[in-house]
Amino acid sequence: MSASRRIVVVGGVAGGMSAAARARRLDEHAEIIVLEQGRYVSFANCGLPYHLSGEIGRREDLLLHTPESLARTLDLDVRTGHRVTAIDRAARAVTVDGPDGTSELSYDALLLAPGAVAVRPPIEGLDHPVVHSLRTVPDLDAIESAVAELLGSRPEGRAPRAVVLGAGFIGLEAVEALVRRGLEVELVELADHVLPPLDPELAPLLAAELTAHGVGLHLGVSADAVTGTPDGAATVALSDGTVLPADLVVVNVGVRPASTLAEQAGLELGPRGAIRVDADQRTSDPHIWAVGDAVEVRQAVTGAVGPVPLAGPANRQGRRAADSICGHRTTPQQPVLGTAILRLFGLTAAVTGANQAALRSAGIDHEVVRVHPGHHAGYFPGAEQVHIVASFAPDGRLLGAQAVGRAGVDKRIDVLATAIRADMGADDLAELELAYAPPYGSAKDPVNMLGFVAQNVLDGTMPQWQPGDLDDVRATSLVLDVRSPPEHAAGHLEGALLIPHTELRGRLDEVRAAAAGRPVSVHCASGVRSYLATRILRGEGIDARNLSGGWLTLSALRPDAVVAPALA
């Protein structure tokens, strides 16, 4: 290793800073220069909403390092306010606009970690001063000062009104933060459910949590225009004709790779504009590496390629790029699972692998399994349901999983993310040996239960019917509700035959008569009792199948089909 090697890193957050730090640890004598166009490096971008909410009390806690601390601990030359405007690949030099003007900086290795830029949706009036985004420390500072001013003035003695555009991860975190600060919040999302990456049957749980905290939901609509009002506030006009008054508008409708510099330098980009890299993070130029939100990755399950703006992969990519630059052994980049998690008030929602929409659009055959077990033993106080939806290949391989609940969600998704990475299937999940004591889990953990149910579905022990097929199911089979009469009375499907599961063995004749040769489509609340009933019926030679996810899922997806007592 040459003592004079110069490594230039463009972008001083997440991936870029991971690379710089790792490079120093591998090469004590390299000259490592980090160029960051913003005022801050190594800040906690995932923490911004939690400072806005007030949970992270001190703004400086978000600033994990400063140029000074990085010089002291890692001997890095970190230059904020320095923007790279061009790469001269032949000369191995970058052009830098800094506080002291424009200069050239040569490199032996160049690492690009430019991140992503917020997508600016096609909405009129987005330049109105009440409109903000939430991606950077200056963004946060601006929202924070707007909120403080609004709370201080309280026009007309009412709570300030915020409109949040985009119900993705950051949008929802912003909603919670603003509600915690005392604002009235309206949430606008183009997709027909909140948190679009979530499978639609889980989204109603989040919607209910938002509603319970006073958030107004506007789903399946777009914002058309932001219009200033004489008092300095604004209105947001939606595509359905609604006009929302807004003292503050926060826009987070997604990001796109900040790949302009790379593109202008002639580096190869993918079809979605992300920088193409090899397994060692090297671009099409052998002296240039790239990491983070700006690079193209492959989705593990579907094989789709594109950018994935997640902190975890960015950090690991930075480490890998440094290993490659320094000639250290590298662990080749693995396809991305897209594991992500959201806290929304008392709920947690998390995803890993491919969701149902991605599987469908990739044409990947799969069976959807849904379970609602307690997050720990039911006899121990405080058990909370974990609502899990998972997709399995016909050969049993786990393709994706999502979960929503009030406790134990992150643990199950992390186990399932590990399982997908290990190519595990239903049989493996059934046999996982997870830590059990009553405060933590069950002897049959929710992950085991998911495996058991998937085994039963895949080997034909328990054929399923899907809530999405309800209309067809009602037209061609007998729907058998095996819940208790009070549960039935609180909401049921019209025309369903009610026989509590404990009475089924003695009332088979009624089932046979009502079915009249048609299959029997059984359901209960969560799928457990109806599984027993399905097995009883199949043991008697009746073609029975169980509703995936039970009434909990069906009533969330098809509220229109629910006959409530007032209507019955």
Which 239-258 positions form the footprint of its own copies (CB under 8 A)?
none
Q: How many residues contact its own copies, by CB under 8 A?
A: 93
Contact flag: residue 144 with its own copies (CB under 8 A)? no
Q: Which residues contact 132 (CB under 8 A, 6 or more apart)?
A: 139, 142, 143, 146, 248, 249, 250, 251
Contact flag: residue 371 with its own copies (CB under 8 A)? no
Strands 544-547 and 520-523: what pairing? parallel
Distance, in Å, from the CA atom of 241 to the CA atom of 226, rounded to the nearest integer, reads 13
User: Shortest gap between Cβ of 310 and its own copies (angstroms)?
Assistant: 8
Contact flag: residue 430 with its own copies (CB under 8 A)? yes
Contact flag: residue 59 with its own copies (CB under 8 A)? no
Give, as ranges, the residues between 282 and 321 that touch its own copies (CB under 8 A): 310-316, 319
Name the 3-class secondary structure at 417. Answer: helix
Question: According to CB under 8 A, which one of 86, 377, 407, 514 is a site residue for its own copies?
Answer: 377
Contact flag: residue 373 with its own copies (CB under 8 A)? no
Contact flag: residue 74 with its own copies (CB under 8 A)? yes
Contact flag: residue 513 with its own copies (CB under 8 A)? no
Q: Which residues face 330 on adjacent strands?
A: none
Contact flag: residue 92 with its own copies (CB under 8 A)? no
Contact flag: residue 507 with its own copies (CB under 8 A)? no
Contact flag: residue 434 with its own copies (CB under 8 A)? yes
Contact flag: residue 365 with its own copies (CB under 8 A)? no
User: Shortest gap between Cβ of 406 and its own copies (angstroms)?
Assistant: 13
Name the 3-class secondary structure at 408. Answer: coil
Which regions of 243-333 does DSSP assign to beta strands (E)?
Answer: 243-246, 248-251, 255-257, 288-290, 297-298, 305-306
Output the DSSP codes for 355-396. -HHHHHHTT---EEEEE--BSS-TTSTT--BEEEEEEE-TTS
User: Shortest gap between Cβ of 372 and its own copies (angstroms)?
Assistant: 18
Contact flag: residue 145 with its own copies (CB under 8 A)? no
Q: Which residues contact 372 (CB under 8 A, 6 or more apart)?
A: 385, 386, 387, 388, 526, 527, 549, 550, 552
Give, as ranges, the residues between 156 and 195 that touch its own copies (CB under 8 A): 169, 173
Helix/strand number for the chain, H first, E second: 17, 32
Contact flag: residue 329 with its own copies (CB under 8 A)? yes
- Calculated CA dihedral for residues 87, 93, 97, 102, nearest 10 degrees: -130
State the DSSP code for 39: S
Strands 109-112 and 116-118: what pairing? unpaired
For its own copies, what does the binding mask look like between residues 519 and 558, x meaning CB under 8 A?
Answer: ------------xx--xx-xxx------------------
Give, as ranges, the residues between 384 and 403 that touch its own copies (CB under 8 A): none
Question: According to CB under 8 A, which one of 339, 356, 548, 553 is a site residue for its own copies?
Answer: 339
Closer by beta carbon to its own copies, 304 or else 561: 304
Give, as ranges, the residues between 98 and 117 that touch its own copies (CB under 8 A): none
The single residue of 26, 46, 190, 561 carrying the catalytic annotation is: 46
Name the 3-class secondary structure at 415. Answer: helix
Contact flag: residue 28 with its own copies (CB under 8 A)? yes
Closer by beta carbon to its own copies, 95 or else 436: 436
User: Shortest gap between Cβ of 69 and its own copies (angstroms)?
Assistant: 9
Strands 216-219 and 544-547: what pairing? unpaired
Contact flag: residue 346 with its own copies (CB under 8 A)? no
Question: According to CB under 8 A, which one of 342, 369, 404, 547 is a site residue for its own copies?
Answer: 342
> Which segment (91-99, 137-145, 240-248, 431-439) binds its own copies by CB under 8 A?
431-439
Contact flag: residue 508 with its own copies (CB under 8 A)? no
Q: Which residues contact 370 (CB under 8 A, 6 or more apart)?
A: 201, 387, 388, 389, 390, 527, 548, 549, 550, 553
Contact flag: residue 56 with its own copies (CB under 8 A)? yes
How many CB atoms sit inside 10 A of residue 173's CB?
Answer: 22
Strands 109-112 and 6-10: what pairing? parallel
Closer by beta carbon to its own copies, 45 or else 555: 45
Contact flag: residue 345 with its own copies (CB under 8 A)? no
Residue 335 backbone phi and psi in degrees, to 5:
-60, 155
Contact flag: residue 433 with its own copies (CB under 8 A)? yes
User: Shortest gap between Cβ of 189 and its own copies (angstroms)?
Assistant: 19
Contact 375, 323 (CB under 8 A): no
Q: Locate 152 and state its tokens.
A: 């201080």
User: Shortest gap between Cβ of 99 and its own copies (angstroms)?
Assistant: 26
Question: According to CB under 8 A, which one of 128, 370, 411, 492 is a site residue for its own copies?
Answer: 411
Contact flag: residue 337 with its own copies (CB under 8 A)? yes
Contact flag: residue 484 with its own copies (CB under 8 A)? no
Strands 93-98 and 101-106: what pairing? antiparallel
CA–CA distance from 222 to each of 124, 199, 227, 251 (Å)? 12, 20, 15, 12
Question: According to CB under 8 A, which one of 249, 267, 419, 493 is a site residue for its own copies?
Answer: 419
Where b means 16+ CB within 10 Å and e means fewer, 241-272 reads eeebebbbbbbbbebbbbbebbeebebebbee
Q: Which residues face 352 on adjacent strands?
A: 401
The question of whether 46 is a catalytic residue gets the answer: yes
Give, as ranges, the residues between 456 and 475 that touch its own copies (CB under 8 A): 459, 461
Contact flag: residue 440 with its own copies (CB under 8 A)? yes
Contact 11, 292 (CB under 8 A): yes
> Which segment (39-47, 103-111, 127-135, 147-155) binds its own copies by CB under 8 A?
39-47
Closer by beta carbon to its own copies, 169 or else 465: 169
Q: Which residues are catalytic?
A: 46
